[in-house]
């Protein structure tokens, strides 16, 4: 049976981030940690209960909170910028006294060791395929915009396709902000993207490639927005996650199939449509199976963050957005049939490369016993001269953050 861990939130922020106060943000973050129980009154705690005290006027990286909860000793987390205690891992016996420390009414006792985020055991973010340094920063009115931008940037995957990485961020930021202001939820955006996905498929089927491409690109854009909206507002749901990922897996090959059928009603029908369609499905399913086999049998992380070459391959691998570039280029050149053929060929080439990487990973694991991601051995600041580090990691916010002279 898992031992419950108690959390007490101290104070609140003077500014909201993405429509939420610091206290609300912490409550939502803690709500997804099964072992965490938020307590309002410290008198509810037994002397031996493990407790984490958090200041709500600071922005915490979720990884910092998890790392503090994993500690087995009393610790005071101090910000490296202004050396102020912002979080304390203690027990029920000392919780009341240490609350006074967070209220800045009492000094940290000598027998309570201090640490900064650099001292915490924080690893690669496997779910987002990146390694960004953790942060803890004050929430002030004068840095509200900066912190909101950081939260949005932190919601992005480090290793993804070139369209998502370089084209969508700015417009997605503006639309995500608009959604927050209107009170829209991630599932609303996901359902709208589903509508566009269906409309795009229907348009492709009837050979209306221009209209279909507009619908398809709108769908891919909203697919970026719904994930970012869920992460910055901490409103992810199991239904939304299943709907979003299920849609991502199912619709791309159906689009390509519809495109092929649509070609037969145009001036540039494609020969051997049935064969090309089967090759497309083989390439699509084969690529997904290679990715799944790597993570299921060989490593705990995604194949695209194994070596640097795998991360660069992810930028252009045969996923929806790179394939849409090929289809769009073919349509703009007046040869939608060539766009379709290129998608089929790119699926096969990408899957062959993934199969080769899977075989290489199996050989490496047989020799070394365990696989490691290239991100585990790098420092985003120290190794900034490396191209892969510059492309797939960001400088820590603390490196770019200038302490405000005063709150405004």
pLDDT score at 1: 45
Q: Tally helices (H) and strands (E) across the chain.
A: 15, 8
DSSP state of 109: P
Q: What is the pLDDT of residue 397?
A: 64
User: How far is the C-alpha of 397 from the C-alpha of 408, rounded, in Å?
Assistant: 21
Give the HSE-up count for residue 310: Cα atoms under 13 Å, Cβ half-sphere.
Answer: 22
pLDDT along the chain (408 residues), means of 10: 81 94 95 90 90 95 90 84 86 90 79 84 73 86 91 90 96 96 94 96 97 98 94 84 82 96 90 95 97 95 96 97 98 96 98 98 94 91 92 72 48
Gap between the terminal Cα atoms of the chain? 48
d(CA 93, CA 50): 9
Three-state SS at 15 = coil
- Please choose, from the candidates 202, 197, 204, 257, the residue with its C-alpha nearest in 3D space to the C-alpha of residue 222: 197
Calpha distance 275→369 (Å, rounded): 41
- What is the distance between the alpha carbons of residues 401 and 396, in angstroms, rounded to a whole number? 9
| Element of type H or E holding 9 | strand 5-10
The neighbour count for residue 199, using CB atoms within 10 Å, is 17
In angstroms, the CA 106 to CA 104 distance is 6
> Which CATH fold topology does 5-119 show?
Spore Coat Polysaccharide Biosynthesis Protein SpsA; Chain A (3.90.550)
Report the top-level CATH class of 159-391: mainly alpha
Distance (Å, rounded) from C-alpha 358 to C-alpha 352?
10
Delimit the domains of the chain by residue range.
5-119, 159-391
Q: Write the CA distances from 4 to 8, 45, 163, 247, 404, integer angstroms.
A: 13, 11, 43, 36, 38
- Distance in angstroms (rounded) separating the CA atoms of residues 403 and 232: 23
């Amino acid at each position: 049976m898992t031992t419950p861990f108690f959390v007490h939130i101290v104070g609140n922020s003077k500014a909201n981030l993405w429509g939420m106060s610091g206290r609300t943000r912490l409550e939502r973050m803690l709500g997804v940690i099964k072992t965490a129980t938020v307590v309002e009154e410290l008198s509810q705690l037994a002397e031996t209960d493990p407790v984490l005290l958090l200041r709500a006027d600071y922005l915490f990286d979720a990884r910092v909170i998890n790392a503090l909860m994993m500690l087995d000793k009393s610790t005071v987390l101090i910000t490296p910028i202004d050396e102020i205690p912002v979080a304390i891992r203690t027990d029920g016996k000392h919780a009341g006294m240490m609350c006074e420390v967070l209220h800045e009414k009492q000094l940290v006792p000598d027998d309570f060791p201090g640490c900064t985020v650099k001292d915490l055991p924080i690893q690669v973010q496997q779910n987002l395929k990146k390694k960004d340094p953790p942060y803890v920063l004050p929430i002030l009115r004068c840095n509200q915009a900066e912190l909101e931008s950081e939260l949005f940037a932190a919601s992005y995957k480090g290793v993804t396709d070139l369209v998502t990485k370089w084209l969508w961020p700015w417009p997605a930021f503006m639309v995500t902000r608009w959604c927050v202001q209107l009170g829209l939820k991630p599932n609303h955006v996901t359902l709208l993207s589903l509508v566009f996905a269906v409309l795009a498929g229907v348009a492709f089927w009837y050979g209306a490639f221009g209209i279909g491409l507009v619908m398809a690109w709108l769908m891919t854009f909203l697919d970026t927005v719904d994930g970012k909206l869920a992460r910055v507002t901490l409103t992810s749901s199991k239904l939304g996650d299943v709907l979003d990922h299920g849609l991502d897996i199912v619709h791309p090959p159906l689009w390509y199939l519809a495109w092929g059928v649509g070609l037969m009603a145009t001036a540039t029908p494609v020969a051997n449509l049935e064969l090309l369609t089967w090759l497309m499905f083989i390439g699509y399913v084969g690529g997904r199976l290679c990715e799944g086999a790597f993570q299921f049998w060989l490593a705990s992380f995604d194949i695209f963050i194994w070596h640097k070459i795998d991360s660069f391959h992810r930028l252009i691998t045969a996923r929806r957005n790179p394939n849409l570039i090929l289809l769009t280029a073919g349509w703009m050149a007046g040869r939608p049939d060539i766009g379709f053929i290129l998608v089929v060929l790119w699926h096969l080439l990408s899957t062959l490369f993934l199969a080769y990487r899977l075989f290489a990973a199996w050989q490496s694991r047989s020799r070394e016993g365990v696989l490691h991601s290239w991100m585990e051995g790098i420092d985003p600041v120290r190794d900034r001269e490396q191209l892969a580090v510059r492309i797939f990691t960001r400088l820590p916010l603390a490196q770019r953050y200038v302490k405000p002279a005063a709150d405004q």
